[in-house]
Amino acid sequence: MIEISENASEQILEMLHSLELEHMYLRVGVVDGGCSGLSYDLRFDDQQTAEDISVSMNGFQVLVESGSVPFLEGLKIDYQRQGMTGGFTMDNPNVKASCGCGASFRTATYRGTAKKC
């Protein structure tokens, strides 16, 4: 379903360790919003719901809300360092269009309403 690179996994584990909380999950999903219609939702969460699909990956648990799965199938998450900063990158084979700033995207099956940038 989702692939997380070694670089991204190392960064996620480092971030989880810095939170000093037990039973934290990496939540990966999509939300309505942005110029193209959908935005990624990548965050830590300590709650799992009945709608979540849980996957153990590289030393941590990933939660994906079942409604996000069609938009995330085949997603590759990486972490790239540039100088003194870095950030997560998303390579999603389902993306058919994205906004100019790259913060949101649209898939062939998305039927929501896009907002103006």
pLDDT confidence band for 103 (50 / 70 / 90): low
Cα(27)–Cα(39) distance, integer angstroms:
14
pLDDT tops 80 at residue 82: yes
pLDDT band at 111 (very low <50, low <70, confident <90, very high): low
The beta-strand segments (E) located in the chain are: 2-4, 25-32, 38-45, 52-57, 60-65, 75-82, 85-91, 95-98, 105-107
pLDDT of residue 112: 64
Mean residue pLDDT of the chain comes to: 86
Residues 6+ apart with CB under 8 A from 114: 34, 35, 36, 37, 104, 106
Residue-level pLDDT at 107 = 81
CA distance linking residue 37 with residue 97, whole number of Å: 10
If one compares 29 and 21, the residue with the highest pLDDT of the two is: 29
Strands 75-82 and 85-91: antiparallel
User: At a CB cut-off of 8 Å and minimum separation 6, what does 111 contact?
Assistant: none
**Which amino acid is present at 43?**
R
Classify domain 2-107 at the CATH topology level.
Hypothetical Protein Aq_1857; Chain: A; (2.60.300)
Strand pairing of 25-32 and 60-65?
A: parallel
Average pLDDT over residues 19-33: 86
Q: Where are the domains of the chain?
A: 2-107
